[in-house]
Amino acid sequence: MRALELIGGVLLALTVLSDVFRSVVLPRPSNRFLRLGPAVGGLTWPAWRWLAQRLPRFLRDGFLGAYPGLLLIVELLIWTGLLAVAFGLLLWAGRESFAPPLANLSDAIYEAASAMLTLGVAPNQATGSARWVVSIAGLAGLGLVTLLVTFLLSLVEALQQRDAMLTLARAHMGSPASAARLLATYATDQRGALLAEELRSWEVWLAEIANSHRTYPILAYCRSARDVSDWVAVTGAVLDVASLLIAFGAPSEARGAAGLLHATGAEAVRGIAHTLQVRGAADDRIGDAIDARETLRAAGWALAEQGDVARYRSLRAAYVGDLKALGRHLGMQAADDPKHGVPIS
């Protein structure tokens, strides 16, 4: 019986610590096997989003924005509770090593929780090998809190980097974000040097978004701290810019930048959708390419007379389906508003 308690405690502790390591420490996307975050998120997010959709619009965004913080708190409580049970099983296996001996399993779990939280209020005095278990429990509790604080700082830094470009998007593309407005801003840049520079900055932004949101998927659920368009809508508008320039003729210095932006952005969208287990369906309603071209020409942009409409639709199809699926999954307005990310807005 004590062997089962010892083995069970060791296995439970290793499982929880492995989950903490893969969720907080591991600097790359990891699989979902025995992962607490994806399990809790998969159970709670659909219900949370359902409730948000029934709230008034002025309350909806704040309600959705509270979810990531609450999820982290729930994960911390579950991790702490499971570790207390794991170390409690280990202590219960060696209950005679306490003075007085532990009376039951609940006393052992209380002893482990007291050690993890460094409370020092447990009435039983550990002796022998139990002292090592109590010490390891205290170290695990301290390490868990330290790792979580470091994790939160990493999340805040990633959000600040994302929001900085979203603020820039509001100035350059308006709100909701519009590809036509960005291109109209650079209509007089005939060689495309300034436009190419901006496209390269968006390419870097999308690469950073893909890396951070795939490594820490909870970032995808975080709302912007500022009154700006959501990251899904801005991503769509930026990729629309690249699709228009590739299909209808970009200035010489912007042509290569547009191609690289589209390739990076489409891959980023696919990667994030895969990480969140969201699959976009083929979307035939991907905007009227001819109307988009005429709108841009009216704004002063010199586009090719015979643009490749079929190619434009093909380029847009590479990301629109996944973007709309992400918008619906995350409860963002862009999923239901056809003007978000459509270059004729």
Question: So where are the chain's domains?
Answer: 2-148, 174-335
What is the average per-residue pLDDT within 151-179?
A: 84
pLDDT per residue as tens digits for the range 126-157: 777 788 888 888 888 888 888 888 888 888 88
Torsion of CA 280, 74, 83, 111, to 10 degrees: -170
SS3 317: helix
pLDDT per residue as tens digits for the range 251-261: 667 888 889 99
| pLDDT bracket for residue 263 (50, 70, 90) | very high
Higher pLDDT residue, 319 or 341? 319
SS3 331: coil
Helix 36-52 with 67-93: angle, nearest 10 deg: 140
CA–CA dist 18, 240 (Å, integer): 41
What is the average per-residue pLDDT within 169-174?
A: 82
Q: Kindly list the distances between the CA atom of residue 182 and the CA atoms of 194, 254, 329, in Å, as whole numbers in the listed order.
A: 12, 14, 27
pLDDT per residue as tens digits for the range 287-313: 555 666 666 666 666 666 555 777 888
**What is the pTM assigned to this prediction?**
0.81
| pLDDT bracket for residue 341 (50, 70, 90) | very low
pLDDT the model gives residue 267:
94
pLDDT the model gives residue 207:
94
pLDDT per residue as tens digits for the range 214-262: 888 889 998 876 555 688 989 998 998 888 888 877 666 788 888 999 9
pLDDT the model gives residue 203:
95
**pLDDT above 90 (res 160):** no
Q: Kindly list the distances between the CA atom of residue 294 and the CA atoms of 185, 299, 344, in Å, as whole numbers in the listed order.
A: 16, 9, 9
pLDDT the model gives residue 27:
60
DSSP string of 216-248, one letter each residue: SGGGGGPPPSSSS--HHHHHHHHHHHHHHHHHH
Helix 289-298 with 231-248: angle, nearest 10 deg: 80
**pLDDT above 60 (res 339):** no
